[in-house]
């Protein structure tokens, strides 16, 4: 066996009949597992004959990468976001500051809902509804 461009042993392949789909699949799979094929869409891939199993092995490799890692642009966006420069921890809010901000949000929300409840007047035609915790009021 000779060595592939990637340093792995190159499988010995016989001349495959281009109409024998099973043989082409087996040969392409062998090349895929040996990683002896150019990257999909690269100039060496484009130079391959359409019936060359290396061409199909590259398609299998690209499909596997898509299945594992998803869209290339999406992956690049994720890497950029993951490696983006972030504000130093020392400059960020403390837990006490965040808790205080949350208390303010809760108080404003409670005030808003109290105003909403006061604004709503029951219609006399509405059925009586028992209010939990207030058994004497309906």
pLDDT tens column, 24-59 = 777 777 777 767 788 889 999 999 888 888 888 888
Residue 60 contacts residue 32 (beta carbons within 8 Å): yes
Nearest to residue 37, comparing CAs of 72, 61, 9?
61
Q: Is the dihedral of CA 11, 17, 23, 24 positive or negative?
A: positive
Q: Render pLDDT for 69-127 as a digit per residue (tens, 0 to 9).
A: 777 787 788 889 989 998 888 888 899 999 999 999 999 999 999 998 888 777 888 88
What is the per-residue pLDDT for 96? 93
Q: What 3-state class would DSSP assign to 2? A: coil
Residues counted in the chain:
138
């Amino acid at each position: 066996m000779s060595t592939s461009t990637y340093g792995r042993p190159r499988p010995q392949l016989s001349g495959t009949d281009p109409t024998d789909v099973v043989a082409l699949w087996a040969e392409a799979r062998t090349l895929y597992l040996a990683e002896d094929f150019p990257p999909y869409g690269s100039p060496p891939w484009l130079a391959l004959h359409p019936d060359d199993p290396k061409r199909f092995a590259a398609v299998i490799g690209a499909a596997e990468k898509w299945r594992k890692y998803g869209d290339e642009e999406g992956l690049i966006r994720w890497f950029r976001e993951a490696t983006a420069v972030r504000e130093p921890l020392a400059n960020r809010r403390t837990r006490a500051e965040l808790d205080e901000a949350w208390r303010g949000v809760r108080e404003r929300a409670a005030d808003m809902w109290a105003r909403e409840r006061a604004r709503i007047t029951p219609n006399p035609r509405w059925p009586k509804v028992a209010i939990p915790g207030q058994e004497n009021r309906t």
